Amino acid sequence: MDEIANSSKKIEEITNVIDDISFQTNLLALNAAVEAARAQKSSVSEKEISTLIKESGQSLHRIVVAVEKVNVLNSEIANASQEQSSGMEAINRSVLELDKVTQLNAVSAEEVASTSDSLNEQNKIVAIWKKIIQGNERRKNPLPI
């Protein structure tokens, strides 16, 4: 992304230099046309030179507009890439959180299973004690025959 931004900046700088050169060239051409018209040594008319200067300026303007569009597209690509990167980071964080929750659920399930096993064992012990107590009560109070 940094390379795209740097390239766009360099393209913009080069375009500005070309624009400056074009402006200076137009001034020189206009001066040459004026001097040629004064001296009447040139077969090219002032109007033709003006037309060439105008066309040159229009071409340069089209180039500048095209380069500006490329810069805008590069900027949009860089922004989209940054958003995509941020989205991937958010997804990664969510996956890590989901993994933590899954691990906690697994630990909780193991604890529940262990507690269930412990309760089953305690129920067995209670049942044994119940039988012992009932047996002792029968011995103390035998049923009448």
Digit-coded pLDDT (tens) for 79-120:
898 899 999 999 999 999 999 999 999 999 999 999 999 999
pLDDT digits (tens, 9 = 90+) for 16-50: 887 788 778 777 777 877 777 677 655 556 677 77
Residue 52 lies in a domain: yes
Residue 80: alpha-carbon gap to chain centroid = 6
Residue 74 lies in a domain: yes
What percent of the chain shows pLDDT beyond 70? 88
pLDDT digits (tens, 9 = 90+) for 46-80: 677 777 777 877 887 888 788 888 888 888 888 89
Residue 124 lies in a domain: no
pLDDT at 117: 94
What is 108-134 written as a DSSP string? HHHHHHHHHHHHHHHHHHHHHHHHHHH
Mean pLDDT of 6-21: 78
pLDDT over 80 at 127, yes or no: yes
Residue 94 lies in a domain: yes
Residue 8 lies in a domain: yes
Domain count, the chain: 1
Residue 112 lies in a domain: no
Residue 145 lies in a domain: no
Residue 131: alpha-carbon gap to chain centroid = 71
Which single residue is written with the structure tokens 């507690």?
Answer: 115
The three-class DSSP label of residue 143 is coil
Name which residue leads in pLDDT, 145 or 30.
Answer: 30
Residue 139 lies in a domain: no
**For residue 53, what are the domain limits?**
2-107
pLDDT at 66: 84
